[in-house]
Amino acid sequence: MSDLTHHKNIRLPEGSIEKTTTTLNLGPTHPATHGVFQNILELDGERILSSESTVGYIHRAFEKLAERRPLYQITTLTDRLNYCSSPINNMGWHLTCEKLLGVRTPKRVDYLRVIVMELARISDHLICNSIVGVDTGAFTGFLYVMQYRELIYEIYEEICGSRLTTNMGRIGGFERDFTPAAFEKLEKFLAEYPKVLKEFEKLFTRNRIFMERLIGAGPISAERALNYGFTGPNLRAAGVDYDVRVHTPYSSYEDFEFNVPVGTTGDCYDRFLVRNQEMWQSLSIIEQAYKKVQAFKGTEHDVYHADSPEYYLPPKGDVYTKMEALIYHFKIVMGEIDIPKGELYVPVEGGNGELGYYLISDGGRTPYRLHFRRPCFIYYQAFEEITKGSMLSDAIIVLSSLNLIAGEMDA
Amino acid sequence: MLNNDYIKQRLTEKFGEQVTNFEEPFEMLTFEAPKEINLKVLQFLYDDEGLQFRFLTDLQAVHYPDNTGRELAVVYHLHNLQANVRIRFKVYTSISTPDVYSATALYSAANWMERETYDFYGVNFVGHPNLKRILNVEEMDYFPMRKEFPLEDQTRIDKDDDMFGRGKSY
C-alpha cells in the first residue's frame, strides 16, 4: 500500500507515508447514535482499531441550575435526563427530597409510584429493544410495540397532563389522584400488552438472522463491567444480579415478588434478552401493584399524597378561603422554605441502571450541591473497549443495545 | 458482618489518625483522609478481605469557598455489592494546588468521572491518562461549577429584556 505510483491524481510531498487506515466520524448527528454524540472511529477496512467518544453536545448545566432552584423546581430538570423514562427520574428525585425532609408517604402513594415507574421501565426497554431491531434492519417490531408506548404516554397524560417530560408527582405524592380513565387505560395495557410482547419476542428472539447479528457482538465480562461501573440491564446481562430495587428497596418495592433476570456473556443478545425479561417482570409488578391499590378501603382508598403541609401544596379552594393554606401556598411557590441541613445519596433503578442523586443541603432554600449519577455517562466509557477489533456494523448495534440516551449522558 | 463500626475499626487500625471526621448522615458511613493517601485508602478498601469495596458508584467534587486551604472536596461513593454496604470517602484539597491522585488505575469508571470533575471544578487528577474537558467546550478557560460563578439573579431589573419577563415594561 505504500506504493504511491498508482495514485495518478494525488501528488503527495516527497517522503510522505500514506495512511492505510480510515478515520470515520460516527455522529454527532448520525441515525445510529439516536442522539447527539460523536464517535471518531479508526478503521482498518471494516474493523475498528480504536475509537474516541465526544459527548457534551447537549449539556445544559443542570447541576448548576439546581443550585438556584427550590426543590420542587428541580423535578423539571430530572425529566430531561433519561427522557425515555422520565417518571422514574421524577420519582427518584421526590424520594430524595422526602428522605431529606423526613416526609413519610402513604402505602397507596408508593404503589401508585411503582405502577408509574414500571410503566416507564417498559417504555424505556421496549424502545431500546425495538431500536436494536431497527438497527439490524428489522423495522416491523418497532412499529408493533410503538402503539403501546403511545398507550403508556396516554396513561401519563391522564395522570399528570404531559407525555414525554412528565414533571410527574410532587414531594409527598401526586398532584392529584389517578383518574378513572387512567385506570381504564392501565387495564387495557395490562390486557393487551402481553400479547404484543409475545409477538415481538416471536419475531426476534429465535430469529436466526437476528441471533447471528447479535450473539458475540460487544461482549463484556462481569469483572470488566463492574470495573466500568455498569449498572442496570447492561450489568445484569454480564451475569451480575445487582438491582437497586432488590438491594436498597425504595417506594415499597419490598412488597412485590419479582425475579431479576441475568445473562452470561454480556453481549448484545444477552442485553436484548435481559430487557425483554425485565418487561415481563415489570408487567407482573404492575399487576401486583394494581391489585394492592384496588384493595385499599375507606379513607385509604383515595389517599394520593402525604400529610406534609410545609412541602405539599394545599388544595386551591383552601388557598382562597383559609389563611394557613394561603401562607403555605405562598411559601412553597416562592421557594421560601428552608430545607434541613443534610448530605445524602439516594439511588433508584432507572431504565439504564442506578440513577443516583447526591444532595448536599447547607440549610438554605436551594441545594448547596446536587449531583446526578447518570448510568449512561458512566458505562459509555466502555464503548471503546468492547468494540475494539469488531466490525463497524457491530459497533452500531452495541450503541443501540447499550441504550445510550444523550440527555442522560450530558446532563 | 460488614457494618459501619467494623469499617471504621479496620480503617483506624490501618491508617490510625489519618482517617478522620467519621460521620453517618442517613446511615452512610462518611470519612475523610489527606489527599496524599487517597489511593492508599481506596486500594485498602478494594483489597481488604473483609471490606472489598470494589464498585465505584460515583465521584464528584464540592466547592466550599470559605474553607480556606480546603476549598475543594473530592467525594467518592463506594459500594460493596455482596454485602450491600455503601460508604462515602472525601479528600479535601486547596484550590490553588488542586492536585489529587487519579483513581483510574483502580477503576476504569473513574476515567470520565474525573474528567467531569476536572471540567467543572478544575481538580487536577495526577496520573489521569487523558485529563481534558468532557462536557464543556475545550476552549473554556474557567471551571463553571465553582461558587464564584453565580447564576444570574432572576429579580434583577437593570436589564431591558422584555422577552424574559423583566425590564421597564413590567
For chain B, the straight-line distance linking the first and the last C-alpha, in angstroms and rounded, comes to 64
pLDDT of A31 reads: 81
Helix (H) or strand (E) holding A292: helix A268-295
B-facing residues of A in 239-258 (CB < 8 A) are 240, 242, 247-248
How many Cα neighbours within 13 Å face the side chain of A287?
13
Please, are residues B78 and B14 in contact by the beta-carbon 8 Å criterion? no
pLDDT of B11 reads: 93
Please, are residues A38 and A25 in contact by the beta-carbon 8 Å criterion? yes
Between CA A271 and CA A233 the distance in angstroms is: 6
Q: CB distance from A225 to chain B under 8 Å?
A: no
B18 burial (CB, 10 Å; 0-12 / 13-18 / 19+) is middle
This complex has an ipTM of: 0.90
Question: Where in chain A are the domains?
Answer: 62-410
Average pLDDT value over all residues in chain B: 89
The reply to whether residue A64 touches residue B77, judged by beta carbons under 8 angstroms, is no
Q: CB distance from A64 to chain B under 8 Å?
A: yes
For chain A, the straight-line distance linking the first and the last C-alpha, in angstroms and rounded, comes to 45
pLDDT tens by residue, A38-70: 999 999 989 999 999 999 999 999 999 999 889
Question: Where in chain B are the domains?
Answer: 4-144
pLDDT of B155 reads: 63
Helix (H) or strand (E) holding A286: helix A268-295
- For helices A140-160 and A107-135, angle between their N-to-C axes, nearest 10 degrees: 160
Between CA A234 and CA A404 the distance in angstroms is: 11
The reply to whether residue B58 touches residue A373, judged by beta carbons under 8 angstroms, is yes
pLDDT of B169 reads: 43
Q: How many CB atoms lie within 10 A of CB A339?
A: 21
Between CA B166 and CA B157 the distance in angstroms is: 6
- The closest alpha carbon to A402, from A245, A225, A150, A259, belongs to A225
* Domain at B4-144: CATH architecture: 2-Layer Sandwich (3.30)
User: The cell 418487561 sits on which residue?
Assistant: A279
Q: What grid cell was written down for B129? A: 491518562
Q: How many CB atoms lie within 10 A of CB A382?
A: 23
Best of B46, B78, B114, B116 to substitute, by most chain A Cβ atoms within 10 angstroms, is B116
Phi-psi region of A374 (alpha: psi -120 to 50; beta: other; left: phi over 0): beta
CATH 1.10.645.10 fits domain A62-410: yes
Q: CB distance from A56 to chain B under 8 Å?
A: yes
Between CA B91 and CA B77 the distance in angstroms is: 12
pLDDT tens by residue, A316-328: 999 999 999 999 9
Q: What grid cell was written down for A119? A: 410503566
pLDDT tens by residue, A107-133: 999 999 999 999 999 999 999 999 999
Per-10-residue mean pLDDT of chain A, 411 residues long, equals: 55 76 87 86 92 92 91 93 93 95 94 96 94 91 90 94 92 93 96 94 93 93 95 95 94 94 94 96 96 91 90 92 94 88 95 94 91 94 93 92 91 85
pLDDT of B101 reads: 96
Q: What is the dihedral of CA A92, A98, A100, A104, to 10 degrees?
A: -140
Residue B129 dihedral angles phi and psi, to the nearest 5°: -70, -25
The shortest C-alpha distance from B145 to chain A (Å) reads 6
Q: CB distance from A37 to chain B under 8 Å?
A: no
Above pLDDT 70, what percent of chain B?
A: 89
Chain B residue whose CA is closest to A384: B108
- For helices B38-47 and B4-15, angle between their N-to-C axes, nearest 10 degrees: 130
A143 burial (CB, 10 Å; 0-12 / 13-18 / 19+) is exposed
The reply to whether residue A356 touches residue B77, judged by beta carbons under 8 angstroms, is yes
Which residues of A are less than 8 Å from B62 in CB distance? 360, 368-369
Residues with Cβ < 8 Å from A97, sequence gap 6 or more?
A71, A103, A171, A311
Best of A64, A98, A354 to substitute, by most chain B Cβ atoms within 10 angstroms, is A64
pLDDT of A300 reads: 87
DSSP strand pairing (B85-93 vs B72-80): antiparallel
Per-10-residue mean pLDDT of chain B, 170 residues long, equals: 91 92 93 94 93 94 93 95 94 95 95 95 94 92 89 64 51
Residue A109 dihedral angles phi and psi, to the nearest 5°: -60, -45
User: The cell 415507574 sits on which residue?
Assistant: A117
Please, are residues A217 and A271 in contact by the beta-carbon 8 Å criterion? no
